[in-house]
Amino acid sequence: MPRLTRFLALLAVLAIVQPVAVAQAAEQVVISDGHVDLGPRFADGQWTVQLRDDTGDEPKWRALSDVVLHVAEAAKTAVPDDPAYDFLGDRGSPIWVLPQVEQDGVVWPGWNTQDPEVTAAIDREVTWRLHGVRGPGRFVLFLSGNFGAPTTIFTSTATTPQETGIEVGTHVHGNWVFGAPGTYLLDLEMAASTKDRGEVADRRVLRVHVGDDTDPRSAFDVAVAEPEQQAEPAPEPADSRWWVWVGLGGALLVVAAVVVVVVRRRRGER
């Protein structure tokens, strides 16, 4: 497992200063190589989760609906023969990894809270939540430390929502692991408290396409399901409600008591 073990010793928390002005792009793109970051920003004053794309000549912010991250075959490896990594699947089974440390020919996604308006407005940290994963295999996002076992941030094998905190002004990379080729939809939210005691939150879907056998642009055609709404139960007929039956039972008891009193009085008059 030389490809995976190369990045098992580093937690990349980078302090990269971002330009004050980063352009907003509008076209749909598939990103297969280079550096990108998921993060919150204030777009036209509105808190939103977007992707900062550093793969071109100039950095651009992109709406998540306009992006597919393509995990090429160059990212394919296998689960290490080490019990510390059993959370990734059966040892030796194939996995596709976008690593914590940059690798040529593979997209390098991170996450950051360094947008100038975010650092100016947000108090302490951003809460990052995973609400769900749709895809053909397991998804895991974990960090490799210099010492000790890997730290799992998100995994599709556990109950959602899951959450982690991101300190304001930080830039982090981790290992994004996918267990099978195909399209994945990651339902993500970023929320925070503002310094003026307000609350902001935005929930978006990140599309990831794994493998080279099918066109990664096909991921744009995968519908994003709306959050499920729990239907209001239909009202029951009035005579089937429990309190109606209780009321009828009480009325019958009262009638029975009256009958008993009348019978006793008639017997006493004889």
**Domains of the chain by residue range:** 2-221, 238-269
CA dist., res. 219 & res. 160, Å (int): 23
Nearest to 111 by CA among 23, 41, 159, 42: 41
CA dist., res. 22 & res. 60, Å (int): 6
Question: Residue 65: what pLDDT?
Answer: 96
Question: Residue 226: what pLDDT?
Answer: 59
CA dist., res. 69 & res. 19, Å (int): 23
Question: Residue 149: what pLDDT?
Answer: 85
CA dist., res. 172 & res. 40, Å (int): 14
Within 10 A of 2 (CB to CB), how many other CB atoms are there? 6
| Token pair recorded at residue 101 | 């440390």
pTM of the model: 0.77
Interacting residues of 49 by C-beta distance below 8 A, sequence separation 6+: 38, 39, 40, 64, 188, 189, 190, 202, 203, 204
The sign of the CA dihedral 195, 196, 197, 203 is negative
Per-residue pLDDT of the chain (270 residues; tens, 9 = 90+): 444 444 343 334 444 444 445 777 779 999 999 999 999 999 999 999 999 999 999 999 999 999 999 999 999 999 999 999 999 999 999 999 999 999 999 999 999 999 999 999 999 999 999 999 999 999 999 999 877 789 999 999 999 999 999 999 999 999 999 999 999 999 999 999 999 999 999 999 999 999 999 999 999 999 987 543 333 333 333 343 333 333 444 444 444 444 444 445 444 554
CA dist., res. 166 & res. 205, Å (int): 19
Question: Residue 242: what pLDDT?
Answer: 34
Question: Residue 35: what pLDDT?
Answer: 98
CA dist., res. 208 & res. 206, Å (int): 7
Question: Residue 21: what pLDDT?
Answer: 56
Question: Residue 148: what pLDDT?
Answer: 74
**Secondary structure letter of residue 249 according to DSSP:** H
CA dist., res. 267 & res. 256, Å (int): 17
Question: Residue 261: what pLDDT?
Answer: 41
